Amino acid sequence: MTSLDKGLDTESSPAHAAAEIAAAAENLVKVYGSGDTQVKALDGVSADFAKGEFTAIMGPSGSGKSTLMHCLAGLDVASSGEVRIGDTALTGLNDKQMTALRRDRIGFVFQAFNLVPTLTALENITLPLDIAGRKADQEWLDTVVKRLGLADRLSHRPTELSGGQQQRVACARALVGKPEIIFGDEPTGNLDSHSSGEVLSILRASVDEFGQTVVIVTHDPRAASYADRVVFLADGRIVDELRDPTQDSVLDRMKALEGR
């Protein structure tokens, strides 16, 4: 079954999806360094990310958001605790299995865009598919490229693109293979409000139209308002959660947390 089929499958409609977990963290602890310089970036984080749901992770600088994303996406290993992508426990995987899982099931948009400088924008976008020996769904590729405003930049190399354009290329690359789950660490961090809106609405569409799961880190209440749920981190712990957020409700909650 392709991801598209899954997206159209009525069994995966939100009413049924409640029990289906796309990713889970169970009592995650991440300690960096040792002795006096030791930092506990994650201090026992447990969270489920339901299939077909868009979650935003918010919290002060240094609260552990990027660390959590990196552990969830299999880019970093927690000191203790467990991460699952679907039914797959990441701790049980060898390097080769981990690489395959990241390649086939996960899309990333991170702040360091990791574009390959010698490839054009289009080649960068289709690179994960090319490596996996899969072909892009041309219609979806066209849609993504158009909606992210990249149609006339496809033959440019990353150095010939602005920071915001590079970020949109990274976003297109994460979306085009329709992975089960997309992680974004401040995917709209460098974008003006128009481009930012385009990125968020296409992430929203990947959830609503294809049943994919999206988890992003953001500092922006407007970006968070595109999500179904906001999870608030402070000092490496989940301290609050909000369903069906609006800009105002997110701002209120942020203020309340700052005043703790």
Ligand X SMILES: Nc1ncnc2c1ncn2[C@@H]1O[C@H](COP(=O)(O)OP(=O)(O)OP(=O)(O)O)[C@@H](O)[C@H]1O
Residue with tokens 């690179």: 127
Which has the closest alpha carbon to 169: 113, 108, 214?
A: 113
Residues 13-52, mask of contacts with ligand X (x by CB under 6 A): -------------------xx-----x-x-----------
Span near ligand X by CB under 6 A; candidates 64-72, 86-94, 195-203, 241-249: 64-72
Cα(87)–Cα(21) distance, rounded to whole angstroms? 8
By CB under 6 A, tell whether 92 contacts ligand X.
Answer: no
Count of residues that interact with ligand X, criterion CB under 6 A? 12
For 70, the enclosing helix (H) or strand (E) is: helix 65-72
Cα-based angle 159, 62, 21 (whole degrees, multiple of 5): 85
The residue (of 122 and 250) whose beta carbon lies closer to Mg ion is 250
Beta bridge partners of 233: 238
Residues 31-70, mask of contacts with Mg ion (x by CB under 5 A): -----------------------------------x----
169, two tokens: 């290329």
Closest CB 167 distance from ligand X, rounded Å: 15
The residue (of 61 and 159) whose beta carbon lies closer to ligand X is 61
By CB under 6 A, tell whether 218 contacts ligand X.
Answer: no
Closest CB 59 distance from ligand X, rounded Å: 6
Closest CB 65 distance from ligand X, rounded Å: 3
Cα(105)–Cα(138) distance, rounded to whole angstroms? 19
234, two tokens: 């402070």
**For residue 154, how far is the Cα from the chain centroid?**
23
Chain contacts with ligand X (rule: CB under 6 A): 32-33, 39, 41, 59, 61-67
